[in-house]
Structure 1
């Protein structure tokens, strides 16, 4: 089952305004078009325009001066389009674009930790999609995606073919929701017997387990992606503005 995905209107406006700032059409220090001008040009409602401008402000592209309007700051030192956090990469990853082997795709019982993240009872019915990702002909990670069964059933998440879109696109289309934010949890542990075989590590090896919980604007969780990484093959790095 395939889905056509169109970014929400506010995201389209963000992308266009970022493009204009980067191209110099809106140079640093110049006033940004007013809300009414943007509404007229793009045919968008005021709440949509205000939301887009709020994101641009929070990410450092523009600044608001009370009583004067909004002004261009320029491309931030760490641009949001270049700052792909681990959880977002996992949710947007397309299996057709990475070297991976599907290990499981179908119904399962939610383990305690996963059930807690999803806000459901332990052993509740979920759909599990697990893959082994390789890089440079070496096992790199084991990635497991957990979605409530009533959301995932009937989608490509249960198919044996590689996903053509990121998992969040399928969930948003199936559930009719827009995922708003990701909460990440990172733990360290030793491998299970299955992980030892898949990743080619010793029982004493240190693994990093990254859990990305994708939620809508109300905080309701819809997806958990668990990625297990051999500690000696990965280094987690993040960069973000301090104001």
Structure 2
């Protein structure tokens, strides 16, 4: 752990996450694949080129516990696809976040490619994936809290002592008002900036 803290004393890439990213992702969902492959959300947040990033995704099938069942509005035990994502700068040891996404298996099973982690990183991300099974997002709700990290989060994010994390739950609703994606993201407080821009209708 001492070596990790030595590394963490060096300046590390910051990520700026703003709520306009969701419309940006939706606009890209129907673009040609070659355009979607050029850049992703992490590149947008960090300014890094994809060649400077190390990406990892792992999938597993699971069942909704009480908390996820409540978030999705489905019975406990409903089949879900759990997807864990980790992306880091190639010259740094810690990922930008710890992100775990849950999709209802019944809504995506029509496209077997969505169940296969080897298809990651998917050009255009989750909204593009959902588009392949006819799902269009209507809105995204994000809930943010700050808290002390768990020992595991401290280790995986290589946090300096006393540094908090930002816990984000992102809930995506489709145009039929169904919850189609629940994502839990743990963001390191020392290198994450959150920005919110709210367009206001003119009088």
TM over 0.5: yes
TM-score class, shorter-chain normalisation, is 0.5 to 0.7
Map 1:51-90 to 2 at 5 A.
Answer: 85=20, 87=22
2:138 aligned partner: 180
* TM-score for the superposition, normalised by structure 1: 0.55
Q: Mark the structure with the bigger radius of gyration.
A: 1
Would the aligned equivalents of 1:87 and 1:212 in 2 still touch at CA under 8 Å? no
* Pair 1:219 & 2:177 matched: yes
Would the aligned equivalents of 2:127 and 2:136 in 1 still touch at CA under 8 Å? no
Q: Alpha-carbon deviation of 1:152?
A: 3.5
2:103 aligned partner: 147
Corresponding residue to 2:125 among 146, 152, 166 = 166
Which ranges in structure 2 are unaligned for 5 or more consecutive residues? Answer: 1-17, 30-39, 44-49
Q: Alignment RMSD, CA only? A: 3.1
Would the aligned equivalents of 1:106 and 1:129 in 2 still touch at CA under 8 Å? yes
- 1:237 and 1:84 mapped to 2: Cα distance? 7
Would the aligned equivalents of 2:171 and 2:179 in 1 still touch at CA under 8 Å? yes
Q: 1:208-227 CA distances to partner (integer Å, 9 max, x unpaired)?
A: 12222111223211112222
Would the aligned equivalents of 1:127 and 1:152 in 2 still touch at CA under 8 Å? no
Which ranges in structure 1 are unaligned for 5 or more consecutive residues? Answer: 1-82
Q: Alpha-carbon deviation of 1:197?
A: 2.6
Higher relative contact order (CA 8 A, sep 6+): 2
Which of the two has greater strand per residue?
A: 2
Q: Alpha-carbon deviation of 1:134?
A: 1.3
- 1:183–1:115 distance in 2 versus 1, CA, 3 Å: same
